[in-house]
Every structure is written in structure tokens, then in C-alpha cells.
Amino acid sequence: MTAARGIQARRFADHPRARVNADASGRLLEEIAPLDSECRSLLALAAEKLGLTPRGYHRILRSARTIADLDDSPAIRQPHLAEALSYRLPFGRPD
């Protein structure tokens, strides 16, 4: 976890209003958490199925960026996004 905090400290060194991924919003979030086409499709499908609001969408994106940091990955990959989405799934609710 300390390594992930170091990654975030370096990432936000030039951003006085953000110190960690949770502080990133809007354009900055899109800049630090770009998605490849596979991840973009997965997140779009999840947003539709789960009825995500823009706030919910950004929360998942922040979580995925943090999970990627914990994995020491420079980019968000499908497993990072899937894990972030799993925390938002409605357990025990039938489809």
C-alpha cells in the first residue's frame, strides 16, 4: 500500500488540489485513468446494466486506478476494472 501512495504522490506532484486518486475529479480523472477500448466497453456495459450515475462512473474509475496502482500497473487493465466493478455489484439481488 505504501508503494501505491508513492505512485499517487508522484502522479499528483503538479496538482495542488489532489494528493490521491480519491481527490481527482472530472478532466483530471480522465487524464490519470485512461481506458483502452476493452475497458471502455466493459465500463459502458456496466454503467448501463447497473444504472450508474456520472458520480458512480467516476467512483469506479477512481477505484480501478487505485487497484492498478496497488498492482504497480501504469495502466488500468480489465482485471482492475472488473475488481472495481465487483465492489458495486448488488449481491443477492436476482437479475
| For residue 61, pLDDT beyond 90 | yes
Greater confidence (71 vs 90) lies with 71
CA-based nearest residue to 7, from 54, 76, 60: 76
pLDDT band of 88, cuts 50, 70, 90:
confident
| For residue 89, pLDDT beyond 80 | no
Strands (DSSP E) found in the chain: none
Gap between the Cα atoms of 3 and 59, Å rounded: 21
| For residue 2, pLDDT beyond 70 | yes
Gap between the Cα atoms of 29 and 94, Å rounded: 33
Instruction: Give tens-digit pLDDT for 15-58.
Output: 989 999 999 988 999 999 999 999 999 999 999 999 999 999 99
Residue-range domain boundaries for the chain? 2-86
Sign of the alpha-carbon torsion through 33, 37, 42, 45: positive
Residue 59 has a pLDDT of: 94
pTM: 0.89
